[in-house]
Structure 1
Amino acid sequence: MEIALRELVRQVLGPNWGEKRGAPDLERLREKQEEDRKRRDGAIVNDDLLAYTELHSLTQLIEKNWESFKPAFGDSARTKVFLGILADFRNPVAHSRQLLPFERELLSGAAGQLRNQVSLFLSRGDGPHRHYPSIESVTDSFGNLAGSFYDADAFHTGIRLHVGDRVAFHCMATDPRGRQVIWRLGIGTSTQHEEIATVAGVPAELTWEVEERHVGEKRWVRISATHTGRYHRRGDFDDERFFTYNVNPPIGD
């Protein structure tokens, strides 16, 4: 949910969001960014300070600049209730406390409502975002963010993998009609492609276990999202993201 709210803040308040009423302490965000860089040695750290804002800070920005966000959410009181539900359950989830069934349903309902409102606002007018799922983000276990189209050079991670490595992909998406999102993970070259994993739900995680047949340069990973309905934006899927990696041959070969 925080990913969707960050994108909304970016679109509504623009690049100077940090100067608006209710904005978090930017210096504190820079400190979090630096802590992240030190802690995640070997991973790519996000340069966007907005990526380090949490739900409380995003809620403050929305409430303190309500007139700017009103076109997205409509009713102020209802929006505060939904945001409050997210805040109430954020700490239990963060500390791995098991939610009760009715708590999970309440949290899912509030998050789903806000997510759909954000999605519809960002796709104002009658466009594909009003009818089909859209991928919000796909991030690999090294911290790379996937590209929105295939380009072996533009979205090359620069990472060299070895046979036996496992790469996880964390996936987020929204569907304006509330349908279940289906994810597919494919690996390929310029001439070959194989689908190796499928999972359903949001958020979702897909895993690639690197095998000998994947050895070579510029091996691309394609992650696509579709839904359970009959019609799709692009043939048999609705949105996609790409990464490119190199896979080293085993030692001695």
Structure 2
Amino acid sequence: MDRGLDPSIALNLLENALRDLMEHAYAEQWGPSWLDKVSTQKQREVWADRAQAERDRIRKGVAAVSPVGLQYSNLYDLTAIAEKNWQPLASALGKSKDCLPLLRRADSLRNTVAHNRLLVAHERDLLSGIAGQIRNQVTIYMSNHDPAGDIYPRIEKLADSFGRIIRPSLDSPPSLTAEQVLHPGDVVEFTCFGTDPQDRSLAWELWKPKVRQPVPRATTNAGEEACLEWVVSEDDVQERCWIDIRMSAVGARHHRNGSLDGSGVFVYIVRPPRGAW
């Protein structure tokens, strides 16, 4: 019998939905300084430590960069922020007295999942249901802020392994120039997250210069993260190497822009192998 989403996937969906909603709604309410408004210095320091630990794990010797927004917050942080700053979220999530108990219950289950303990069947179903409900509410809200949002999927977040983030639904143009200097043999991982009002699967592609087909590809359910990996080669050597992440709905007859429903571009400096110039 179908027991719903895997608990770790459900938590990921729930946290990503809340982050996306908060970053959109709070920026509308308070402008660019919204993060300082809704979080404490101590919270931001903890998130910075988590970001640095991840960067140290992924790639040794890369200079630290400040985490963006709520990327390294967890459900406990997000629930506390929502409780203190509910009004901008109400259009999407409804009354706090109805939604906050669900978030608190999900957070209590998060502790079990985080310690690799199994949830019993009804807890698994409950967590999956809460995640699905919140994700759907956020998707509907965000779609209503997009004139074609009820037709096409939307990229909510693209992130590279240096902690840099593009949000094509919010950023214009959806591109970002990274400061890191790369060399052939380096590996960059991209995390991609999108939603679709029609709940279709999403196809993700990574395009790079001098290559006429995407390398690599991935397909996910809407609302789940996709991971793409770029292994830097000598063909990528140039001072502005554009890495284009593209997304489209699988099986759709129509797309937002040609054959695509969304894209974002990361720009890197790629130099020849050390000692080869």
Q: In which range does the TM-score fall when normalised by the shorter chain?
A: 0.7 to 0.9
RMSD in angstroms over aligned alpha carbons? 3.4
SS at match of 1:130: coil
**Cα displacement (A) at 1:51:** 4.0
Range with bigger deviation, 214-223 or 117-126? 117-126
How far apart are the structure 1 equivalents of 2:201 and 2:125? 15
Per the alignment, do residues 178 and 77 of structure 1 end up closer, same or farther by CA in structure 2, a change over 3 Å counting? farther
Unmatched runs of 5 consecutive residues or more in structure 2: 1-13, 57-61
SS at match of 1:86: helix
**Cα displacement (A) at 1:123:** 3.4
TM-score by length of 2: 0.72
Q: How does 1:115-130 map to 2 (within 5 A)?
A: 115-124=135-144, 127-130=147-150
The reply to whether residue 2 of structure 1 matches residue 18 of structure 2 is no
**Cα displacement (A) at 1:140:** 0.9
The reply to whether residue 31 of structure 1 matches residue 53 of structure 2 is no
The reply to whether residue 45 of structure 1 matches residue 59 of structure 2 is no
SS at match of 1:3: helix
Per the alignment, do residues 99 and 117 of structure 1 end up closer, same or farther by CA in structure 2, a change over 3 Å counting? same
Determine the structure 2 residue equivalent to 1:14: 30
Q: How does 1:1-253 map to 2 (within 5 A)?
A: 1-10=14-23, 11-12=25-26, 13-15=29-31, 24=39, 26-36=40-50, 39=53, 40=55, 42-46=62-66, 48=68, 50-74=70-94, 79-80=99-100, 82-84=102-104, 86-96=106-116, 107-124=127-144, 127-146=147-166, 148=168, 155-188=176-209, 193-201=212-220, 202-230=224-252, 231-250=254-273, 251-252=275-276
How far apart are the structure 2 equivalents of 1:104 and 1:200? 25
Determine the structure 1 residue equivalent to 2:59: none
Per the alignment, do residues 54 and 93 of structure 1 end up closer, same or farther by CA in structure 2, a change over 3 Å counting? same
**Cα displacement (A) at 1:33:** 4.3
Unmatched runs of 5 consecutive residues or more in structure 1: none
Per the alignment, do residues 121 and 234 of structure 1 end up closer, same or farther by CA in structure 2, a change over 3 Å counting? same
How far apart are the structure 1 equivalents of 2:146 and 2:41? 40
Q: What code does the residue aligned with 2:22 have?
A: V
How far apart are the structure 1 equivalents of 2:140 and 2:88? 16
Q: What code does the residue aligned with 1:222 have?
A: D
Per the alignment, do residues 112 and 179 of structure 1 end up closer, same or farther by CA in structure 2, a change over 3 Å counting? farther
Q: What code does the residue aligned with 2:235 have?
A: R
**Cα displacement (A) at 1:243:** 0.4
- Paired residues of 1:85 and 1:110 also in contact (CA < 8 A): no
- Paired residues of 2:209 and 2:242 also in contact (CA < 8 A): yes
**Cα displacement (A) at 1:111:** 2.0
Q: What code does the residue aligned with 1:243 have?
A: F
Q: What code does the residue aligned with 2:215 have?
A: I
Q: What code does the residue aligned with 2:114 have?
A: A
- Paired residues of 2:157 and 2:167 also in contact (CA < 8 A): no
Q: What code does the residue aligned with 1:218 have?
A: R
How far apart are the structure 2 equivalents of 1:80 and 1:207? 37
Q: What code does the residue aligned with 2:133 have?
A: Q
**Cα displacement (A) at 1:229:** 3.6
Range with bigger deviation, 91-100 or 198-207? 91-100
